[in-house]
Amino acid sequence: MPTFDHRVANFCAGPASMPNAVIERAQAELSNWHGSGMSVMEMSHRSGAFIEIARHAEASLRQLMGIPENYRVLFLQGGGSMQFSAVPLNLLHGQADYLDTGIWSAKALKEAQRYAAAGLGNINIVASGKANGYTRVPDRTEWQLSDNASYFHYCPNETINGVALYGVPDVPSDVPLVADMSSCILSEPIEVSRFGVIYAGAQKNIGPSGLTLVIVREDLLGRAHAVCPSVVNYEQQAANNSMLNTPPTFAWYLAGLVFDWLLEQGGVEVIYQQNLQKARTLYDFIDSSDFYHNGVDKDNRSIMNIPFTLADSELDKAFLQAADAAGFLNLKGHRTVGGMRASIYNAIDLPTVQRLVEFMARFAQQHSK
Ligand SMILES: *Cc1c(COP(=O)(O)O)cnc(C)c1O
């Protein structure tokens, strides 16, 4: 068996680092899954073996998140971005409310507006953080909710801006909450029963790209517009156990391995405590330094994606080069916001964050005037 000493600390926002134990297990099972004589990659999605893999992954996810019986879990393709269209196509009737807290919620909004323009309904922007440079979630007192919204869409963790909305948004209880949890699913315990739809691309905090999870409350099935493509129609996918067409089988299997790994770690509450400690370690260091800066409101700081800038941006290039050389990869911030960003999803452990902080301290010392 190979060892994994050669693996770098990968702070990429997505596709992101996966647990070593999962990579090793996938490798061990790669050519002959459980004596089947074939790789999961080669299996029919209709075979007994794959159906077992698929069911097991769903059962593990249900256990991890405490998903109630009246919710369906869909394993789809198309990424988080496909859900920007799927949500209005399945649910937009009359008004829908959108909260704009960053680049991803703005993208979701833009797609929804396309369907509004085509006559499917109206989109109301509840509030936007754009004017403040997406450094905080607009205060609840600033929100302009519509009457009888068919749903309220928001993004609890803005991956690019590092802005998070904690707790469940305060909207009327009969308005289904639709949450893009692409970069925060499984990072902290949530009460699924408070949501109508939760969706997440897998490549941030779950597994490889190509898989998108949708957790949808059963009473929201069957509301799709006639023009909604079958593959993104929640009711049809639910009726076909996410196998209306060929699902992303290998990514589904790998997600199942990650779910099992999370259960072995003690579940979401245990990983959440580690995530808090990791985030605190990095933010405390950044806040204590004149060399590094994070401009997000303290109440809205993401525990998964931590953007930061150097006081002297002339040093950005040198910082990234030194980080690469030290085995800390993908710290460059998103092209739209610049600076740096450390994505510290579940697979990044506390010692790795501590080593990053030591590196950052060393770099600051060497480059302070
Ligand atoms: C990455 C991301 C997306 C887009 O995901 P794709 O799978 O690339 O479509 C959407 N929303 C959030 C919050 C993300 O982090």
Cβ of residue 183 lying under 6 Å from some atom of ligand 1: yes
Closest ligand 1 atom number to CA of residue 203 = 7
State in Å: Cα 104 to ligand 1 middle: 7
Specify the long-range contacts of residues 25-29, CB closer than 8 Å, at least 24 apart: 25/257, 26/253, 26/254, 26/257, 27/2, 28/1
- Return binding residues for L-glutamate: 46
Contact call for residues 320 and 342 (beta carbons, < 8 A): no
Measured distance CA(90)–CA(216) in Å, rounded: 11
| Number of C-beta neighbours around residue 131 at 10 A | 7
Task: Provide the whole-model pTM.
Answer: 0.97
Query: Does the pLDDT value for residue 170 go beyond 70?
Result: yes
2 pLDDT band, cuts 50/70/90, is: very low
What sign does the dihedral 303-179-169-219 (CA atoms) show?
negative
Contact call for residues 161 and 337 (beta carbons, < 8 A): yes
State in Å: Cα 357 to ligand 1 middle: 27
What domains appear along the chain, each with residue ranges and CATH number?
26-264 (3.40.640.10), 266-366 (3.90.1150.10)
Give, for ligand 1, the residue of 12, 76, 81 to mutate: max count of ligand atoms closer than 8 Å to Cβ.
81
In this structure, the residue with its CA closest to atom 7 of ligand 1 is 79
For residue range 61-95, what is the model confidence (pLDDT) as tens digits?
999 999 999 999 999 999 999 999 999 999 999 99
List the catalytic residue out of 104, 252, 261, 278.
104
Query: What integer pLDDT is reported at residue 368 of this predicted model?
Result: 86
143 is catalytic: no
- Average the pLDDT over 253-276 and give the result: 98
Q: Which of 76, 72, 60 is nearest to 256 (CA)?
A: 60
Q: Which of 21, 84, 19, 74 is nearest to 242 (CA)?
A: 74
Q: Which residues of 46-57 are buried (b: 16+ CB within 10 A; e: fewer)?
A: eeeebeebbeeb
Measured distance CA(297)–CA(363) in Å, rounded: 26
Cβ of residue 207 lying under 6 Å from some atom of ligand 1: no
- Average the pLDDT over 225-230 and give the result: 98
Provide the percentage of residues in the chain whose pLDDT is more than 70: 99
Closest ligand 1 atom number to CA of residue 209 = 7
State in Å: Cα 201 to ligand 1 middle: 6
Q: Which of 365, 366, 354, 348 is nearest to 285 (CA)?
A: 354
List the catalytic residue out of 33, 180, 252, 278.
180
| Number of C-beta neighbours around residue 63 at 10 A | 14
For residue range 136-154, what is the model confidence (pLDDT) as tens digits?
999 999 999 999 999 999 9
Which H helix or E strand runs over 197? strand 197-201
Measured distance CA(278)–CA(183) in Å, rounded: 16
252 is catalytic: no
Cβ of residue 199 lying under 6 Å from some atom of ligand 1: no
5 class by beta-carbon count within 10 Å (0-12 exposed, 13-18 middle, 19+ buried):
exposed
- Average the pLDDT over 347-367 and give the result: 97
Give, for ligand 1, the residue of 105, 155, 165, 180 to mutate: max count of ligand atoms closer than 8 Å to Cβ.
180
Helices marked H in 15-117 — which ranges? 20-29, 48-65, 79-91, 103-117
Q: Which residues contact 89 (CB under 8 A, 6 or more apart)?
A: 115, 120, 224, 225, 227, 228, 229, 232, 233
97 is catalytic: no
Q: Phi and psi for 170 in degrees, rounded to 5?
A: -85, 90
Q: Return the residue matching tokens 């790998």.
A: 254
Contact call for residues 13 and 159 (beta carbons, < 8 A): yes
Residue 231 tokens, joined? 């593959």
List the catalytic residue out of 33, 100, 204, 278.
204
State in Å: Cα 28 to ligand 1 middle: 30
